Amino acid sequence: MIKTDIIIIGAGPVGLFTVFEAGLLKLKCHLIDALPEPGGQCIEIYPKKPIYDIPGYPSILGYELVENLMEQIRPFNPGFTLGEPAVDIKKDVDEQFIVTTKQGTQHKAPVVAIAGGLGVFTPRRPPISNLKEFENKGVNYIIKDPELFKEKDIVISGGGDSALDWALYFANDFSKKVTLVHRSQQFRAHNDSVQKAMDMASNGKINLILDSEVSAIEGNGSLESVKIKSKASKELTKINCDYWLPLFGLTPKLGPIANWGLEIEKNAIKVNNSDDYSTNIPGIYAVGDVNTYKGKLKLILCGFHESAIMVQSAFKRIHPNKKNILKYTTVTGISGFGE
């Protein structure tokens, strides 16, 4: 069991900055995130896109902001549970919270700060009616163990880096047959990957089907074939395969947080913004894009402000007999926790 002062659910920019604000008050934090690395949307959706509304930075790229935040919180030595979505929260006999991830890792703290952004990043699933029937029975959205696909017939859908990179990997004398299906002639992936895929298609290593999409899947218990529909002719071609990998990236959804007994409004957690961003459950706070209140603006800078206010209330809760402090970093700098 991992024990800390504040469990932060979500390691996006606001979750990361919460570590800083908590650290100034000598509160220790542990972050949980479903993604394998910190940064949230800034890393998953727009690492190379500029953000223009961070005070003091006329322009900063998504990944740069995350790098800077990681450097800023390093003195406070936060813990991380990454690649594991938080799925359950319950109260222990001592009134502290226990947060458990999908993989079963348990965390305990008197305060939980939900900085979950728009939710847990999950694979984008194409709208095929019987898709769920074949999930993990031939349909995989994430490749955890490439060995599974050795010497198999696989069909990959998508036009981004993930689809191209895996197609190239599997087509390189690894899988029996690789078919890559994309709805356009153009790819969104790196040019050199696209060129490699074209080369492999011309020497027969990849069966490249463009301007088409998988429109149906069939099998008896497990996947046996996909039907590929041509955009122009609407003709259907059946391809036998062991696996279909629809690799269309990830999208956030609120996920299990919605079932934790928190007051939800417009797909976000309702908080008391006139006071301390607390939810309807005392000891659980919500900051950043995941919360809502009258006049809420979903901006990173607003999340930063919310976390500064929130940790003051968390401090009071954790140390009811101590006087609240407001730390001005300009005078004394940062004193961290050491390694």
Applying CB under 8 A, which residues contact another protein? 41, 45-46, 49, 118-120, 122-127, 132, 158-160, 182-184, 186-188, 248-249, 251-253, 255-256
Q: Which is nearer to another protein, 41 or 313 (CB)?
A: 41
Of 205, 44, 197, nearest in space to 117 by CA: 44
Q: Which is nearer to another protein, 179 or 212 (CB)?
A: 212
* Nearest distance in Å: CB 85, another protein: 8
Convert the chain into a string of H (helix), E (strand) and C (coil).
CEECCEEEECCCHHHHHHHHHHHHCCCCEEEEECCCCCCCHHHHCCCCCEECCECCECCEEHHHHHHHHHHHHHHHCCEEEECCCEEEEEECCCCCEEEEECCCCEEEECEEEECCCCCEEEECCCCCCCCHHHECCCECCCCCCHHHHCCCEEEEECCCHHHHHHHHHHHCCCCCEEEEECCCCCCCCCHHHHHHHHHHHHCCCEEEECCEEEEEEEEECEEEEEEEEECCCCCEEEEECCEEEECCCEEEECHHHHHCCCCEECCEEECECCCCCECCCCCEEECHHHEECCCCCCCHHHHHHHHHHHHHHHHHHHCCCCCCCCCCHHHHCCCCCCC
Q: Which is nearer to another protein, 149 or 187 (CB)?
A: 187
* Nearest distance in Å: CB 104, another protein: 17
* Nearest distance in Å: CB 120, another protein: 6
* Nearest distance in Å: CB 58, another protein: 17
Cα 255–50–292 angle (5° rounding)? 35
* Nearest distance in Å: CB 45, another protein: 5
- Pairing state between β 79-82 and 29-33: parallel
* Nearest distance in Å: CB 132, another protein: 7
Q: Which is nearer to another protein, 73 or 120 (CB)?
A: 120
Q: Which is nearer to another protein, 34 or 223 (CB)?
A: 34
* Nearest distance in Å: CB 267, another protein: 9
Q: Which is nearer to another protein, 46 or 337 (CB)?
A: 46
* Nearest distance in Å: CB 190, another protein: 13
Q: Which is nearer to another protein, 75 or 160 (CB)?
A: 160
Q: Which is nearer to another protein, 75 or 255 (CB)?
A: 255
